[in-house]
Amino acid sequence: MTLTTLLAQLPSALRKLDPRHLWRSPVMFIVWIGSVMTTVIAIADPSAFAWTITVWLWLTVVFGNLAEAVAEGRGKAQAASLRAARTDVSALRLLPDGTEETVAGTELRVGDLVIVQAGEVVPGDGDVVEGVASVDESAITGESAPVIREAGGDRSAVTGGTKVLSDQITVKITSAPGETFLDRMIALVEGASRRKTPNEIALSILLVSLTIVFVLAVVTLKPMADYAGAPQDTLVLIALLVCLIPTTIGALLSAIGIAGMDRLVRVNVLAMSGRAVEAAGDVSTLLLDKTGTITYGNRRASRLVPAAGVTQDEMRDAARLSSLADLTPEGRSIVELALAEGAPAEVATDGATFVEFTAQTRMSGVDLASGRAVRKGAGGSIAAWGGGVPDDVRATIDEISGSGGTPLVVAEQTDGVTRVLGTVHLKDVVKEGMVERFAELRRMGIRTVMITGDNPLTAAAIAKEAGVDDFLAEATPEDKMRLIHQEQEGGRLVAMTGDGTNDAPALAAADVGVAMNSGTSAAKEAGNMVDLDSDPTKLIDIVGIGKQLLITRGALTTFSIANDVAKYFAIIPAMFLVAYPSLDRLNVMHLATPQSAILSAVIFNALVIVALIPLALKGVAYRAASAAAILRRNILVYGVGGVVAPFVGIKLIDLIVSTIPGIG
């Protein structure tokens, strides 16, 4: 954050001086009232001290508003780019009698069917009910690569403002104008629909309580000071009150919450409420789908096991030959593995006849011009084709199956003689880095549960390889709901991802439900977050951002309360030094005069808000650790730092203000 950024948001901060806005932050509203009172006092009895105190009290309010204005400014910049994607377009509406009519996009209603052709913009949120098309969603997600949207399944949702690049689709509108996904997203990132979260409300109550305590203390201090023969000016008492109440966290509290949601937007996640962001920080159980989240989603060839008497090179080259006509992801992965193990880049197939893989034959291969035939397929299919499978190969098949993998047998025939060459081991490949990420979650105290439709044997093998804590095999929607309720009954907060209509009940039941943007409208409506990139592993980042939000709020609250200590040593001795000279022993900073001491504390109180704005917006760095370790670090860094920093800051400011005539 630069000085230019602060200056750009200064007009917005000045507009927030309206008391109708400030009353929502009781701490800063008290400072505003104090500023008004000191202004009246300075006008009635002008002096350099009175006007300087007044100016810095007003700056305290402005700086507090500036923190919120900068945080909102980031959201407005994001909203501006989103608003550019929201265009007024016409739509080709399909009527019940089968005819078509062209209407403005704003006239569409929920349930309308519209036809969108290549080159046209989708006029509103909806689900594809007919056809398949390539869609450019870069205006929403920022990703330039187009995505496929098709009728049926879990990738049917389209968003208004995106552009169809190919083919034609029929879309059923699911959101009314003004209530579309893009409209809600703009309102949220601008902060227009942001509400205080339960933790914010609780902290606000604490800050108000502390403020009331200090107001009562300062009010009762005046008659006590008069009785002790050390009468105090109202100006000084107001300065004391402003320095003692928790103005720092009071000014930054709103900015911290806005910045937390902004950080999610920056990683292309839209939180439907601040409550969801906070809940992510307290999550103790993560439910993750296996396919596409933990694994790549398609089985891949992991190793080639030659049969007895067959060399590795023979097995490798035969596996590649037999897979050239297999265009499935599994077939392509066998070719890639063979090339990675040193197979020649080119292979002679002149005059060859390729046999494509089919679900009926469960085999693929090639018949070479030399009379040699090579096949790859399921063990039973190869046995039927070639007349049997050797015992050593059958043992390999059983070993691969027992580990949760899929075995494919490779064989060749020459002059009617069949020779089984070996076995290809297919398995769900765990994504790179997942083991480390799950280990990090474990250090954060979060339990991970893999959800899959696989049988328990396969699920157990993948869970062990990925490093998850537990798994739910052969899971149905009811099983997911049962698991979520079971975790919640144990006092744990649960997060999960989903993209299908069958995931909607579980997404709604979870404390943090992250719906994929590519999924159905039902899933996006049920979740309280939407991942615009449709990357299920983003859930791990969401948890980190949630924890960072909570830690930042706790750290700055600790700092705000701790830095009042130095102000006691600056103001209290200065107020009563004339009546009680012995209080000079408490002037540990050796401040020049009572007036410079009070003014230095007020100036520091204002400047520390500006100094902490970057930290409030960026967030305190989060590292996986136990709650006790995080608390200890907060106390050592922000508690001790909050005590020490004001002593240094107030002393440096005093060296400057003590040179001002009428104050020093």
CA-based angle 160:162:163, to the nearest 5?
Answer: 130
The secondary structure of 286-324 as a DSSP string is EEEETBTTTEEEEEEEEEEEEPTT--HHHHHHHHHHHHT
Asked whether 454 and 290 are in contact (CB, 8 A), the reply is yes
Which residues sit in the known binding site for Mg(2+)?
Answer: 499, 503
How many C-beta neighbours within 10 Å does residue 79 have?
20
Which among 392, 300, 291, 298 is positioned nearest to 337, based on CA atoms? 300
Q: 172 forms bridges with which residues in the sheet?
A: 113, 127
The torsion region of residue 441 among left (phi > 0), alpha (psi -120 to 50) and beta comes to: alpha
Burial 13-26 (b: 16+ CB within 10 A, else e): beebeeeeebeebb
Write down the catalytic residue from 183, 262, 289, 535.
Answer: 289
| Phi then psi dihedrals of residue 168, to 5 deg | -140, 140
Residue 289 is among the residues annotated as catalytic for this protein? yes
- Whole-angstrom CA distances from 117 to 89, 142, 143, 151, 626 are 13, 22, 21, 15, 54
CA distance 468 to 427: 17
| Phi then psi dihedrals of residue 42, to 5 deg | -65, -35
Which residues sit in the known binding site for ATP?
Answer: 326, 330, 357-364, 376
Specify the 3-state DSSP secondary structure of 59.
helix
CA distance 153 to 159: 16
Which residues sit in the known binding site?
Answer: 326, 330, 357-364, 376, 499, 503
CA distance 318 to 343: 10
Supply the residues annotated as catalytic: 289
